[in-house]
Amino acid sequence: MSSLQFLFEARSVAIVGASNDQHKLGGRPISYMQRLGYQGKIIPVNPKEEVIQGLPAKHSLAELDDPVDLAVLAVPINLVEPIVKEGLANGVKNYVIFASGYAEIDADGLNKQQRLNALFDKTDARLLGPNCLGFINTHTQLIASFTTAMENHPLNVGKLSFAGHSGALGAYWLDKTIHANIGVSKWISSGNESNTTLADIIEYLANDPQTEVISLYIEQIRQPELCEKALLLAKQNNKPVVAMKGGKSTAGARATLAHTASNTQLGVDYQAIFQRTGVIEVSSLSEMINVCEFQLNGDCIVGKRVGIISISGGAGVMLSDQLESNGLVVSDFSEQLANTVRPLLSPLSCTQNPVDLTAAMVAQPDMLSNVASELISSNEYDALVIFMGLMDSLAEHITRCIIELERNPNCPVLLIWMGGKAECVQAISAHQIMVFDDIPELVSLLSKVALK
Amino acid sequence: MSSLQFLFEARSVAIVGASNDQHKLGGRPISYMQRLGYQGKIIPVNPKEEVIQGLPAKHSLAELDDPVDLAVLAVPINLVEPIVKEGLANGVKNYVIFASGYAEIDADGLNKQQRLNALFDKTDARLLGPNCLGFINTHTQLIASFTTAMENHPLNVGKLSFAGHSGALGAYWLDKTIHANIGVSKWISSGNESNTTLADIIEYLANDPQTEVISLYIEQIRQPELCEKALLLAKQNNKPVVAMKGGKSTAGARATLAHTASNTQLGVDYQAIFQRTGVIEVSSLSEMINVCEFQLNGDCIVGKRVGIISISGGAGVMLSDQLESNGLVVSDFSEQLANTVRPLLSPLSCTQNPVDLTAAMVAQPDMLSNVASELISSNEYDALVIFMGLMDSLAEHITRCIIELERNPNCPVLLIWMGGKAECVQAISAHQIMVFDDIPELVSLLSKVALK
């Protein structure tokens, strides 16, 4: 068992600074865990209370009957050091520290962080943070975080994990997984990384059997060699890694220093590391979620040839232009494929890629299935993109056609449905076919996953 | 009165091939116009019926008591020529022809199109199409189109017009205006442009008092000199033009030929024309709608300096990176501005651009207004971008703060609210402040409008 397993899979947790107010930093984790059914033991710690949110409380970590696996410190910065000392003295091996005011602020803060870190020297205890939002393990419903992202909706349990330097971006990431119906495994806010770095966390996730895809928001890569090693481990274990890198511009770099004391100007060539380890770099959360969903579906695009079937001639044109300008190839049919497809189309349609089904599809609604099946099985394309727009009157039929298409692992199907009905889009997504509302998001996804 | 005014502002319209079935090509325009209250006279034409959708019908254009301003031909291609001849003989000056099967198909089709066009030689009659979806004039509710985009929602009446080579893309454009609550003036599908070209239509829109912003989907620019003249006229009349150009790639060019017989390989340097006439080129409908909305709000960005206020440090970093990599400048505060802003922030925040409000904003919710007001009035920024995420508990307060910000025409405010409540986003948009769900769309908008 790696040392971080005791942290991220803790079976007992003390919330220090526990509160009866479910909206406070020290109240929210307890409230979440009770509501969601944390499988371990929760021990609220508060010097003045006997009972917190219905649970018997301790006055300090010194009063624990048995050492807990994890102490979450929801206390002001000036109380952190004495509480950590008390915890270490009483056998508590893992800490999450929310407080900020450390290295991200000034020299004095850096001093405080170094003093805090020194407490962990010559111990095998681990600290996540400070200046972080903690972590979540959905599989045991261990919520060592005060993020508000789950206030209205619980998370879906699944196989996508996140780690990164921004707790807030992490919260928006959580919100996006809820709305995209993607299951989450671990969610980790690393903060100032005083003791536990992203490299450690990536290594943990690379070994975590409950994680299949890893997504990262990185400001500074603090231990480039260790980080590269951990990313290679993820690659060996067939876990795609999708990363957003912050602090690349002058203003961005200024902001990372103030944010997590991250110095992005130290000459670490993160792009070379990403290149060597197969990390897919994305530039927004939306793009990250799309790439992760594609990977979670188990899809794979091994070449650049994209087939297009469109209900709109103009959309076929725009899609072709955007794909080709992003390095993909909208290659035309072989003569054989053209001969197979021709009788399936209206005589007014041209038999070529992109295929324009034209309004003829309204009279022959099976045209979509028929043409799509031929393209999918032709082995002439590495991916098939279908473009639909509106089509309310045929929406249920189209949905069924797309869900029932025979799958070819060498030619995944992706759909753009502009103005499509929400329930149809949901039904198709639920069958592991990704649906987009406009062309750019699809093109951006394909350019990330097909050219890798 | 320009000759196209009689077409697009017709006060009487004959629907030839009129149908009682409201879902057929010859039924839908009548149904729309009756439902929406077309201000002119509708005359259904059908050789076999006396009454169509409750209106007295004529058997042919020869039976008209008075010539109508416009005849919409919802008939098969083989009936088109005789009907046009009959109409011209009976004083009908304007035609919309839906039928396809002309130059976009083959040499025979081209022949048919040339014969059709010849009927208009030596007349001042006008033809829109063939192979088009017709047009809409929302101001008189003249719906000379069978587009399905309005089946569930009426259009908003307003000042944004569209013309282009794709009726389907146009339909999705209509759908997007409905959802973005943008008012439409004219909507024109130009099809094969056998007689009325985009150049003519742009000239009409440039002179149309009900049009303030023009959006275009262009495959082939058929009359480059006339087109440039019309675009310059729009510029002189202070009407921004936003255009999507299709057929730039090999596959795209192949598709435009089959779509609207558009040859995009003829060496017309559209980018030079756009450059000389100030056309803003966009690459997707979403981007087009965003740029148009910005222009309709009357906003204007005259420089590259962007101020950022973010509730998330990480989002501030990503936003800075993306803006700077797209040519904008996230310039830091002057000493004077820093001194003004410093006391408004938490002592743990760094006084710099991007500003990270941190969680301190939750305790001091007026921090946003206070800091934003200083940046807006400082004259150090050409635009202010505010980034919010979630914040359900403060959503109404944030909404009020943003709506009530004092406006400075030299520093428009734009908002990203990731996972924001729909009603708050709507309320803010209704006050002419654009709201985005993620960073890329905002960056793409700013890079189009700020660097023009």
Q: State residue A167's pLDDT score.
A: 87
User: pLDDT-based confidence at B359, cuts 50/70/90?
Assistant: confident
Has residue A45 got a pLDDT over 50?
yes
Chain A residues lying within 8 Å of B149, measured CB to CB: 390
- Are the beta carbons of A330 and B283 separated by less than 8 Å? no
Q: What is the pLDDT of residues A358-390, one digit of tens each?
A: 888 888 999 999 999 999 999 999 999 999 998
Residue in A168, A219, A349 nearest the CB of B315: A168
Burial class (CB in 10 A: 0-12, 13-18, 19+), B68: buried
Mean pLDDT of B137-164: 94
Mean pLDDT of A268-278: 93
Find, in chain B, the residue whose alpha carbon is nearest to that of A326.
Answer: B249
Q: State residue B263's pLDDT score.
A: 79
Q: State residue B413's pLDDT score.
A: 97
User: pLDDT-based confidence at A265, cuts 50/70/90?
Assistant: confident
* B residues 222-241 lying closer than 8 A (beta carbon) to A: none
Three-state DSSP class for A254? helix
Residue in A152, A249, A259 nearest the CB of B313: A259
Find, in chain B, the residue whose alpha carbon is nearest to that of A332.
Answer: B251
A438 and chain B in contact, CB less than 8 A = yes
Omega into B130 within 30° of 0, i.e. cis?
Answer: yes
Average pLDDT, chain B: 94
- Are the beta carbons of A332 and B168 separated by less than 8 Å? no
Gap between the Cα atoms of B146 and B135, Å rounded:
9
A356 and chain B in contact, CB less than 8 A = yes
DSSP state of A243: E
Burial class (CB in 10 A: 0-12, 13-18, 19+), A347: exposed
| A305 within 8 A of A380, measured Cβ to Cβ | yes
Residues A163-174 as b/e (b if ≥16 CB within 10 A, e otherwise) read bbbbbbbbbbbb
What's the one-letter identity of residue B263? N
Gap between the Cα atoms of A288 and A452, Å rounded:
15
Q: What is the pLDDT of residues B40-69, one digit of tens each?
A: 999 999 999 999 999 999 999 999 999 899
Gap between the Cα atoms of A153 and A90, Å rounded:
37
Has residue A428 got a pLDDT over 70?
yes
Q: State residue A451's pLDDT score.
A: 66
Residue in A258, A286, A391 nearest the CB of B356: A258
Helix (H) or strand (E) holding A206: helix A198-207
Helix (H) or strand (E) holding A156: strand A156-164
| A258 within 8 A of A166, measured Cβ to Cβ | no
Residues 6+ apart with CB under 8 A from A294: A434, A445, A449
Mean pLDDT of A418-440: 95
Gap between the Cα atoms of B283 and B281, Å rounded:
7
Taking chain B, what is the end-to-end CA distance rounded to the nearest angstrom? 33
Q: What is the pLDDT of residues A109-137, one digit of tens each?
A: 999 999 999 999 989 999 999 999 999 99
B21 and chain A in contact, CB less than 8 A = no
Q: Are strands B70-73 and B134-137 parallel, antiparallel or unpaired?
A: unpaired
Omega into A409 within 30° of 0, i.e. cis?
Answer: no
The two three-digit tokens of residue B246, written as one number: 């299709």
Q: State residue A267's pLDDT score.
A: 75
Has residue A1 got a pLDDT over 60?
no
The residues with which A134 forms a beta bridge, in sequence order, are A145
Residues 6+ apart with CB under 8 A from A322: A439, A440, A443, B283, B284
Residue in B166, B353, B438 nearest the CB of A286: B438
Chain B residues lying within 8 Å of A313, measured CB to CB: 166, 168, 255, 258-260
∠ CA(A346), CA(A349), CA(A355), 5° rounding? 110
Mean pLDDT of B304-311: 96
Share of chain B above pLDDT 90, in %: 84
Gap between the Cα atoms of B312 and B362, Å rounded:
12
User: pLDDT-based confidence at A424, cuts 50/70/90?
Assistant: very high
Q: State residue B398's pLDDT score.
A: 96
Overall residue count recorded for chain A in this entry = 452
B331 and chain A in contact, CB less than 8 A = yes
Q: What is the pLDDT of residues B376-401, one digit of tens each?
A: 999 999 999 999 998 888 999 999 99
Chain B residues lying within 8 Å of A331, measured CB to CB: 251
Residue in B164, B251, B353 nearest the CB of A330: B251
Q: State residue B451's pLDDT score.
A: 66
Q: What is the pLDDT of residues A217-255, one digit of tens each?
A: 999 898 999 999 999 999 999 999 999 999 999 888 888
Q: Are strands B142-145 and B134-137 parallel, antiparallel or unpaired?
A: antiparallel
Chain B residues lying within 8 Å of A322, measured CB to CB: 283-284
Nearest to A310 by CA among A300, A301, A321, A320: A320
Has residue B105 got a pLDDT over 90?
no
Gap between the Cα atoms of B186 and B137, Å rounded:
5
B100 and chain A in contact, CB less than 8 A = yes
ipTM of the complex: 0.90
| B273 within 8 A of B279, measured Cβ to Cβ | yes
B243 and chain A in contact, CB less than 8 A = no
Q: What is the 3-state secondary structure (H, E, C) of chain B?
A: CCHHHHHHCCCEEEEECCCCCCCCCCCHHHHHHHHHCCCCEEEEECCCCCEECCEECECCHHHCCCCCCEEEECCCHHHHHHHHHHHHHCCCCEEEECCCCCCCCCHHHHHHHHHHHHCCCCCCCEEECCCCCEEEECCCCEEEECCCCCCCCCCEEEEEEEEECCHHHHHHHHHHHHHCCCEEEEEEECCCCCCCCHHHHHHHHHHCCCCCEEEEEECCCCCHHHHHHHHHHHHHCCCCEEEEECCCCHHHHHHHHHHHCCCCCCCCCHHHHHHHHCCEEECCHHHHHHHHHHHHCCCCCCCCEEEEEECCHHHHHHHHHHHHHCCCECCCCCHHHHHHHHHHCCCCCCCCCCEECCCHHHHCCCHHHHHHHHHHHCCCCCEEEEEEECCHHHHHHHHHHHHHCCCCCCCCEEEEEECCCHHHHHHHHHCCCCEECCHHHHHHHHHHHCCC
A189 and chain B in contact, CB less than 8 A = no
Better pLDDT: A261 or B27: B27
B422 and chain A in contact, CB less than 8 A = no
Q: State residue A348's pLDDT score.
A: 78
B15 and chain A in contact, CB less than 8 A = no
Chain B residues lying within 8 Å of A270, measured CB to CB: none
Q: State residue B452's pLDDT score.
A: 63
∠ CA(A153), CA(A183), CA(A398), 5° rounding? 95
Chain A residues lying within 8 Å of B356, measured CB to CB: 255, 258-259
B304 and chain A in contact, CB less than 8 A = no
Integer CA distances (angstroms), B142 to B40, B321, B384, in order: 8, 47, 41
User: pLDDT-based confidence at B442, cuts 50/70/90?
Assistant: very high
Q: State residue B262's pLDDT score.
A: 77
Mean pLDDT of B310-314: 93
Helix axes B439-449, A285-296, angle to 10 degrees: 130
Find, in chain A, the residue whose alpha carbon is nearest to that of B323.
Answer: A249
Chain A residues lying within 8 Å of B350, measured CB to CB: 105, 257-258
Own/partner contacts of A28-34, CB < 8 Å, gap of 24 or more, are A28/A146, A28/A148, A29/A72, A29/A74, A29/A134, A29/A143, A29/A144, A29/A145, A29/A146, A30/A55, A32/A141, A32/A143, A32/A150, A33/A141, A33/A142, A33/A143
| A216 within 8 A of A186, measured Cβ to Cβ | no
- Are the beta carbons of B321 and A172 separated by less than 8 Å? no
* A residues 26-85 lying closer than 8 A (beta carbon) to B: none
Measure A270 CA to nearest chain B CA, in Å: 15
Q: State residue B147's pLDDT score.
A: 92
The two three-digit tokens of residue B359, written as one number: 């969680």
Residues 6+ apart with CB under 8 A from A443: A319, A322, A323, A326, A328
Q: What is the pLDDT of residues B236-275, one digit of tens each?
A: 999 999 999 999 998 888 888 877 777 777 778 999 999 9
Measure B314 CA to nearest chain A CA, in Å: 5
Has residue A303 got a pLDDT over 70?
yes
* B residues 107-146 lying closer than 8 A (beta carbon) to A: none
The two three-digit tokens of residue B451, written as one number: 């660097």
Gap between the Cα atoms of A246 and A283, Å rounded:
9
User: pLDDT-based confidence at B1, cuts 50/70/90?
Assistant: very low
DSSP state of A224: H
Q: State residue B392's pLDDT score.
A: 86
Q: State residue A98's pLDDT score.
A: 96
What's the one-letter identity of residue A203? E
* B residues 196-215 lying closer than 8 A (beta carbon) to A: none
- Are the beta carbons of A252 and B321 separated by less than 8 Å? yes
Residue in B171, B176, B246 nearest the CB of A321: B246
Find, in chain A, the residue whose alpha carbon is nearest to that of B351.
Answer: A258
Find, in chain A, the residue whose alpha carbon is nearest to that of B177.
Answer: A419
Integer CA distances (angstroms), A315 to A322, A338, B189, in order: 10, 21, 14
Measure A250 CA to nearest chain B CA, in Å: 8
- Are the beta carbons of A284 and B165 separated by less than 8 Å? no
Residue A401: what are its φ and ψ, rounded to 5°? -55, -45
The residues with which A413 forms a beta bridge, in sequence order, are A384
- Are the beta carbons of A246 and B175 separated by less than 8 Å? no
Mean pLDDT of A267-286: 93
Chain A residues lying within 8 Å of B258, measured CB to CB: 313, 349-350, 352, 356
Give me the torsion for CA of B391, B393, B395, B400, rounded to 10°.
-130
Q: State residue B294's pLDDT score.
A: 96
